[in-house]
Amino acid sequence: MFFRFFQEREKAISPFFSKMATIDEVFNRYNKIDLVQIAKDVVTANEQAVLEINRTQLEYGYDSDGIRIVPKYASQQYAELKASFGSKAPFRTPDLLLTGRFYHSFKFDNNFKVYSAGVPYAQWLEHHYGKNIYGFNDKNLNQVRKLYKDEIKKRIEL
């Protein structure tokens, strides 16, 4: 009877344990992981989502230091025009958005830094408002890190 109890118990729980990987299987999977390639794939696959975070930050008038973009618009009329377009930045705070061409020119360089490509006035914007118009404030950088971390975890699946 005592022996039979253990046989029945083993039958009941064996389906749960039969699906578990052995230590050797986990070790073999671990050795096959190419983290560098996974990281590159994750960055490439999420490039537009990450660049959109930078665009949204600018739309609300913030640079990568989390500071409002300055100098403010000097012209009251232009500030009113921007407000009439539905600018999300506070009144007179630049959002660097008019046609969307600058925002949609964002790319990553080899060091995963944001830059603008193919917009002739990008250099003027960088000179006038600073290079900190590219990149992420602390809150948004944490959002980017979480996105990458979650994606990498999904792809590793140990």
Count of positions (residues) in the chain: 158
> What pTM, to 2 d.p., does this model score?
0.77
Q: What is the mean pLDDT of the chain?
A: 87
Query: How distant, in Å, are the alpha carbons of 26, 126, 133 from that of 79?
Result: 60, 20, 19
Q: What pLDDT does 11 receive?
A: 54
CB atoms within 10 A of CB 86: 8
> 83 is written with which tokens?
């407000």
Read off the pLDDT of each residue in 63-71 and give the average, rounded to a whole number.
Answer: 96
Inter-residue contact 95 to 106 (CB < 8 Å): no
Alpha-carbon gap, residue 2 to 140, rounded angstroms: 61
